[in-house]
Amino acid sequence: MTQGGPSAAGAESAPGGGRPLTTYLIGRLDRIVRRALDERLREFGLTALGYTALTVLEARPGLSNAQLARRSFMTPQGMNQVIDALVDKGLVRRVPSTHNRRIRCIELTERGAWVVDQCSERVNQYEQSLLDTIDPNERDDLNRLLRVIVDANRRPRRGS
């Protein structure tokens, strides 16, 4: 076990009472949020990954599978499986690209747009309850700091 990492029992602090690694806390939060979202989206036959894809398509209709995968933090192969499931549920459709016959663009169906609206309400309520323990200024600071980290790590650094 590395210093600052979780103990075998999943303790909140490092051996000797040190603080846990930030990456450990982010990973725990990711699992907590993903599990909670999956529970809230299950009624619509969605997972957090499927919901993410739908919200990206709502904001940017007509993306290709590869573009959608990049924006949803997935591999193209994994995204293809997600899209197949969303097509089967009638939430998205593939349409030929107007620029390249070999590329199929993905867009929400009318039902898909309705499902996004329904799910977004649930997700927003969950996010509010998740952040209830911190005041609005801290929320703004948290969002700003997370954006800085995400933006700085969007592309692999040279030499890493």
From the list 115, 95, 113, 114, the residue with the least C-alpha distance to 105 is: 95
Rounded Cα distance, 100 and 23, in Å: 41
Q: What is the pLDDT of residues 47-104, one digit of tens each?
A: 999 999 999 999 999 999 999 998 888 899 999 999 999 999 999 999 998 888 888 9
Helices in 42-64 by DSSP H: which ranges?
A: 48-59
Rounded Cα distance, 74 and 49, in Å: 9
Query: In the chain, pLDDT over 70 holds for what percent of residues?
Result: 86
Q: What are phi and psi of 148, to 5 degrees?
A: -60, -45
Residue 2 lies in a domain: no
Q: Which long-range contacts (CB under 8 A, 24 or more apart) does 1-9 make?
A: none
Residue 120 lies in a domain: yes
Amino acid 89: pLDDT: 96
Residue 158 lies in a domain: no
Q: What is the pLDDT of residues 3-33, one digit of tens each?
A: 444 443 444 555 556 888 999 999 999 999 9
User: H/E element holding 121?
Assistant: helix 110-130
Rounded Cα distance, 37 and 33, in Å: 6
Residue 99 lies in a domain: yes
Average pLDDT across the chain, whole number: 87
**pLDDT tier for residue 157 given thresholds of 50, 70 and 90:** low
Residue 9 lies in a domain: no
Domain with residue 127: its CATH number is 1.10.10.10
Across the range 101-108, mean pLDDT stands at 90
Residue 35's domain spans which residues? 20-152
Would you state the structure tokens that stand for residue 66, as one six-digit string?
């590869």
Amino acid 150: pLDDT: 86
Across the range 102-123, mean pLDDT stands at 95
The tally of domains found in the chain comes to 1
